[in-house]
Structure 1
């Protein structure tokens, strides 16, 4: 169960998770920033639209970055009645930074899938996450190189991916909804909602996850970008505690992310 939960946390760190329709769906001005400001008083999933195409990032996030991710806070709103597997164990990760590489690349705005075209005219392209590269590096930073075999993104949909693990285990992640917001002070805020299925244990494990991240371009190169991220875990209808929890999150994790440019 501890391994299951650790993998869940990895795939919830979605600065990097899942081009057809351009920018992600906008939400009401200030809704996402207000949500982050009210951590950990989250009562239900955020109200965002169904996911279409990929999540598009601002141009200042282009390139390859070394990311330092630090868990700075966590909460179990329904404890002691409901506590997710591994929650207490994850307290050991508090203030312990993890580092990994990520990259954001150009893709044709009129072409579905992940056919990255790095040399195209900027007017015909958008900036998206290299999901397979990013998710693989993130998972291996937590579990080790030998535990994570590969990550495959559905060529027909950037919103579906499978992480293949040693021992014939799989984590299937599907982005079902998303929204974006740009604040007056230039912060780019995203939220994505996932359905996650872990296969390979005695019983498949399904849950829902919401990841909300606020990115801020800095005036220095160390770091060049800072981000505040909250990941919320919700029970699936298959969980025996589902009706007790309802729409309320059962675990909340807050991360500080620092992006440093890599050598060209």
Structure 2
């Protein structure tokens, strides 16, 4: 019994440390000179969301400046996302569907398809017109407990490789999002910084570019209990 209590206490302490790290990281944006030291997920280890994400949602994404004000003449991006259960009944994002929905909203018919790597949940391939291929792999992740009633942080670092004319172009993008329940909706503040990929330290077009978005998720179809 004592060992069980110690284990519970240790797990709670680890969760608290995760929250503290992500909160500090969130507040320090956009001063992210390097990607966060996030644990690398295993091949079958997906991001687990709280149960209150279940269902299909319409997302409105508004671009903000560093102070949190909407950027003039930059219309919101609207798309759908959905969340489903894995074999362990954990709630995960439908990554290929969600990536395709965002891509179609942003790029229209330029996006042809999004494919999920069958051997690892953290890798997708997006195919575009003119023989362009975007390879996206999650190489780091940290999140708070999905059991939280109304508050959730997730931080992911992805490696993107753009294949097309010329040499492949690499970049690393860290996306830290704070979600809260707001009535029937979910509200989120998403902060992002792009870093040059390995071996591209002098590429000033990628390194240190920051973005911020306000997300509102409105329910379209909730999961049936």
Question: Would you say 1:197 and 2:161 are equivalent positions?
Answer: yes
Partners of 1:168 and 1:93 in 2: how far apart? 34
Unaligned runs of 5+ in 1: 1-24, 76-90, 110-124
The corresponding residue for 2:133 is: 170
Counterpart of 1:50 (choices 37, 40, 51) is: 40
Between Structure 1 and Structure 2, which shows a larger proportion of helix residues?
2
Residue 215 (str. 1) matches residue 179 (str. 2): yes
Please point out which of 212, 217, 221 is paired with 1:259: 217
Tell me if 1:229 matches 2:190: yes
Q: TM-score, normalised by structure 1?
A: 0.70
Deviation, 1:73, is: 1.9
Contact 1:71 1:94 in 2 (8 A): no
Q: Are 1:179 and 2:171 counterparts?
A: no
| RMSD of Structure 2 on Structure 1 (CA) | 2.7
Q: Deviations over 1:211-261 (max 9, x none)?
A: 11111011x23xx1001111110012332516x99xx95111011000001
CA-to-aligned-CA distance 1:11-44 (integer Å, 9 cap, x gap): xxxxxxxxxxxxxx96633111121122222232
Cα deviation, residue 157, structure 1: 0.8
Indicate whether 1:107 and 2:86 are aligned.
yes
2:95 to 103, 109, 131: 131
**Structure 1 partner of 2:105:** 141
1:151 equivalent to 2:114? Answer: yes
Q: 1:98: which partner in 2?
A: 77
SS at match of 1:203: coil
Matched, 1:28 2:7: no
Structure 2 SS opposite 1:28: helix
Q: Contact 2:63–2:213 (CA<8 Å) still a contact in 1?
A: yes
Q: Which has the higher contact order (CA 8 A, sep 6+)?
A: 1
